[in-house]
Amino acid sequence: MNTLHTDTHKRLFSRTSSLRLRFVVLLAIAGTLLYFDVAGTAQLHRARGWVAQVLRPVIWIADLPHVVDDIGGTLRSRRALLEENATLKHRQLELAARLQRLQALEAENQRIRSLLAASTTLRQRVLISEVLESSQDPYRHQILIDRGSADGVYVGQAVVDAWGVLGQIVRVHPHTAVALLITDPQSGIPVEVNRTGLHSVALGRGDGTTLSLPFLPNNADVHVGDLLVSSGLGGRFPSGYPVGRIVQLRHPAGESFMEAVAQPQAHVGRGREVLLVWNTEQPAAQLPALPVDIAPPGMAGHGGKAVRPTPARKAPVAKRAAPRSATPRP
């Protein structure tokens, strides 16, 4: 018989105790605890603090799985945020590059629209061309375009943009051409004052921003703000194209002439697209050649000058011999 088991495991209530007695005892204990809890005695608060201190490690150990799970979730969230942040940064750089390209395309589209709007108002045949290079020589204002003789471009052809006359073609290659800008010192274009019809010649001053109308009479009817248009004299530039606007009148002391300074209407050196205009008044085949001494890039200097076209010499006409008389001389 196992007496150790019966001695060490003594029950609070004997087997003969009734269930009612158990209920009464437990109810009395619960009531007593509730009374002391409501009364708030110092002893109970002190005992509760001790129990809480004793059970704190147990509570912390019991809550440890939740803490570990929260830490793992935080690490996973941080890693995901870092990856998402890196992806968004790369996407932002890509979109920024695309936005810059779109802005450039938008500006180019607007310029082309301006050229097309200008071309719809012209009666002449026109062709859009793109500027490939621009001369860096301060004494030579020229541009290289992507159209040549294969596209029908000819020497002396007028080059304009959406705002006015830009220059003329001086050298033609199969697929490219060189244009001399109106601000070049060797450039000259016949113009007339749009308000009065006064004829003159606008010469390039070499500064890239202004034109000069020299040797105007002091009593000429010219005012600041007058618009200059191409006169069409000489048959090289079509008439009626805006060339510039007068910004200054200079009266040298003791001189009987004055000089007018004009600002080009065309956006010289600021565009990527230009218009080539065919002069219907004078076909390309009838235009005189304009040979120009153009030095290679980097070798051109102030000494290079355009050679004026020399008139074609007429072929000598053979004189007819006087008809001989059939009768012999005496």
139-163 confidence digits (pLDDT tens): 889 999 999 999 999 999 999 988 8
CA distance 269 to 134: 8
Tokens of 201: 């010649």
User: Does 192 share its domain with 94?
Assistant: no
Instruction: List, for residues 66-125, the tens digit of each pLDDT value.
Output: 777 777 777 778 788 888 888 888 788 777 766 766 766 777 777 777 776 666 655 668
Distance CA 167, CA 189 (A): 9
Q: What percent of the chain has pLDDT over 90?
A: 32
Residue indicated by tokens 């008389």: 325
| Structural domains counted in the chain | 2
77 and 202 belong to one structural domain: no
Same domain? 151 vs 31? no
Nearest C-alpha neighbor of 202 from the set 217, 220, 184, 175: 184
In a domain, 247, yes or no: yes
Asked if residue 192 and residue 48 are part of one domain, the reply reads no
The pLDDT value given to residue 304: 36
Structural domain span for residue 62: 18-121
The per-residue pLDDT for 292 is: 40
* Two structure tokens written together for 174: 């199969």
Answer yes or no: is 172 within a domain: yes
Q: Which of 121, 151, 169 is the last residue of a domain?
A: 121
Same-domain check for residues 200 and 166? yes
Residues 114 and 179 in one domain: no
- Rg (the chain; Cα; Å): 50
Higher pLDDT, 4 or 326: 4
Does 176 lie in the same domain as 32?
Answer: no
CA atoms 47, 53, 54, 55: torsion sign: positive
CB 198, CB 310: distance < 8 Å: no
Q: Which of 121, 148, 165 is the last residue of a domain?
A: 121
- pLDDT of 313 > 70? The answer is no
pLDDT in tens, 41-70: 666 677 777 877 777 787 778 777 777 777
- Looking at the chain, list the stretches that DSSP marks H as alpha helix, in order from N- to C-terminal side: 3-8, 19-39, 42-120
SS3 content of the chain, % helix, strand, coil (to 5): 35, 25, 45
> Do 159 and 233 lie in a common domain?
yes
Question: Does 282 map to a domain?
Answer: yes
On whether residue 303 sits in a domain, the answer given is no
Residue 90 lies in a domain: yes
CATH code of the domain containing 160: 2.40.10.340
- Domain assignment present for residue 271? The answer is yes
